[in-house]
Structure 1
Amino acid sequence: MAHVHHRFARVDGRQLFYREAGSADAPVVVLLHGYPTSSFMFRELIPQLADRYRVVAPDMLGFGLSDAPPVAEFDYTFDALADLTARLLEQLGVTRYAIYVQDYGAPVGWRLALGDPEAVTAIVTQNGNGYDAGFVDSFWAPVWDYGRDPNADTEAAIRTALSLDAIRWQYLHGVADQTLVSPDAWHHDHALVSRPGNDLAQLALFRDYRTNPPLYPALHQYLRDSQVPVLAVWGGNDEIFAPEGARSFAQDAVDAEVHLLDGGHFLLESAGDRVAELIRDFLGRRLPGAAAA
């Protein structure tokens, strides 16, 4: 089993935490987490990939063990998170890499790919949306309302997403055997997003989410032009990003591989071994320079 290193880097004056494992000269896989979690979500996946790949999993600013500056000191947008991630990878000497994206990790990953199309060697999207078809209206309506018109009422509706109950729901919905999901996960996430002032950072990102769907046409063109290999492995019972979001990648990505598994939004918590198996097989066949899994 590979050793996982837990490290900090100073990027643009901010301290970013990241997990890293694997040989320095192996093909690189960058794991990009979603809301409300961090690289903690990849704690079991990293060792399952690190025998063949150099794995880097950063905590985005405002999440996990990375700095969480107040909104008066940092403009929390997806553009800014992507820029920090790009600068971290540059600092680590990572110039070509596959990405695993989930939830918020998807708009960060899409910005990285669009900003440097030659850098991304393969894409694994696990409930990380890139198409309008994937949005579940009942979940996203408060997000769109708040982004369109931030006021006391729309903010109150979206603030519920910061609660322990809402975070627990994200982990447990769609999971047939909920005893497979460790309560550590949602308590860990809730504690870190509850740091003083972090609520305002998260609200800023909720408001900024509306900037992501307008990027989708450019993403689809990139998928067609680059022919980058794509694996969509999805919790098929997700009530945030529906299975249509996974299937849609086949419209533009050449030979996209789509797998809908029995699980929810945080699929690694209940089906991590199967996801790792699919990733190893996919990367082994389609990632340039990788050994067969």
Structure 2
Amino acid sequence: MTPSPAFPVRYHVADADGVEVFYREAGDPANPTLLLLHGFPSSSHQFRALIPLLADRFHLVAPDLPGFGFTVVPAARNYLYRFDTLAETLAAFVDVVGLTRYALYVFDYGAPVGLRLALKYPERVTGLVSQNGNAYLEGLGEAWAPVRAYWADPSEENRQIMSDAMLTLEGTKWQYLHGVKDPESVAPEGYYLDTLLMDRPGNKEIQLDLFLDYATNLTRYPEFQAFFRQARLPSLIIWGEHDPFFIPPGAYAYQRDNPNAVVELLDTGHFALETHVHHIAHRICAVLGSVPDHKPVHGG
């Protein structure tokens, strides 16, 4: 599988929910749409290698969520950085750019945001790729211990602990390289770009607010799981098995609610696209090949 020169990547900005949403787009809009939702601390940049591999078969749209990448939230918007709000902005975005049918690729933060979108517009979702995109309590690894402490006591001390651990170059680099067999295979521009963007004035406070609000995602897990049971979508659950945050039991749990979900573990860490992008592209084509004809199944 090689990049298709016939479908170059385009870079756009859409005004959605009072936010200037930056997004990458490639492929023929007549093809099935794959909506790519990034995670912390990255942006649509994480899909830079995947998009060209799929552009001859899919219409690909990858937005930067508010607080990430090149999306700009005007100060006058008085934006509240919560996962519910990110999902509201994403819903406004898909409406503005005219996406009425799409499969979801969710990763990390993209999972709770994208699955909220699925709950809002269940009839639009044709398929699911979850790459270390958690929706089950058993998927939360021991690396969440300091975050849980922050949830229990959002003191300035714990807020600073989170900042020191997660919002530095070393913390971001660790997320990219932990569990990777050959760290020299991971391009450094990913974690350097993430760090530079996180270091913009005010952004660390935004991220600390989102860390705190992440606890609300756990309360939505039963709703997400009910959606899996009811929709029974073609689903590829593909997981870097050495991810310290989202561990393999969270991948296998998808089959409890959708027995037809394809679960595959990869010998890598959290950012599986950095090491296995060609394999993941092949598996997306294999599992979502029936997406154009799929109609969601309602009922349990």
The interval holding the TM-score normalised by the smaller chain is over 0.9
List aligned pairs for 1:1-293, cutoff 5 A.
1=4, 2-68=7-73, 73-137=78-142, 139-159=143-163, 160-284=165-289, 286-289=290-293
1:144-165 deviation line (CA, Å, top 9, x unaligned): 2212321122112111200100
Q: Which runs of 5+ in 1 are unaligned?
A: none
1:130·1:245 contact (CA, 8 Å) conserved in 2? yes
Counterparts of 1:120 and 1:270 in 2: how far apart (Å)? 28
1:30-73 deviation line (CA, Å, top 9, x unaligned): 00000000000000101111101110000001100001456992
Q: 1:259 to 1:12 in 2, by over 3 A?
A: same
2:21·2:64 contact (CA, 8 Å) conserved in 1? yes
1:124·1:279 contact (CA, 8 Å) conserved in 2? yes
Normalising by structure 1, we get a TM-score of 0.95
Instruction: Give the root-mean-square deviation of aligned CA atoms.
Output: 1.4
Counterparts of 2:125 and 2:60 in 1: how far apart (Å)? 14
> Offset at 1:12?
2.2
Counterparts of 1:214 and 1:100 in 2: how far apart (Å)? 22
Q: 1:71 to 1:197 in 2, by over 3 A?
A: farther
AA of the residue aligned to 1:19: R
Counterparts of 1:115 and 1:16 in 2: how far apart (Å)? 20
Q: Which runs of 4+ in 1 moved over 4 A?
A: 68-72
AA of the residue aligned to 1:79: D
**Number of positions where the alignment pairs a residue of Structure 1 with one of Structure 2:** 288
> Offset at 1:114?
1.1
> Offset at 1:74?
1.1
1:229·1:254 contact (CA, 8 Å) conserved in 2? no
Normalising by structure 2, we get a TM-score of 0.93
Counterparts of 2:259 and 2:128 in 1: how far apart (Å)? 12
- Over the matched positions of the two proteins, sequence identity in percent amounts to 45
2:8·2:26 contact (CA, 8 Å) conserved in 1? yes
SS at match of 1:67: coil
Counterparts of 2:259 and 2:141 in 1: how far apart (Å)? 26
AA of the residue aligned to 1:140: W
> Offset at 1:254?
3.5
SS at match of 1:255: coil
AA of the residue aligned to 2:207: Q
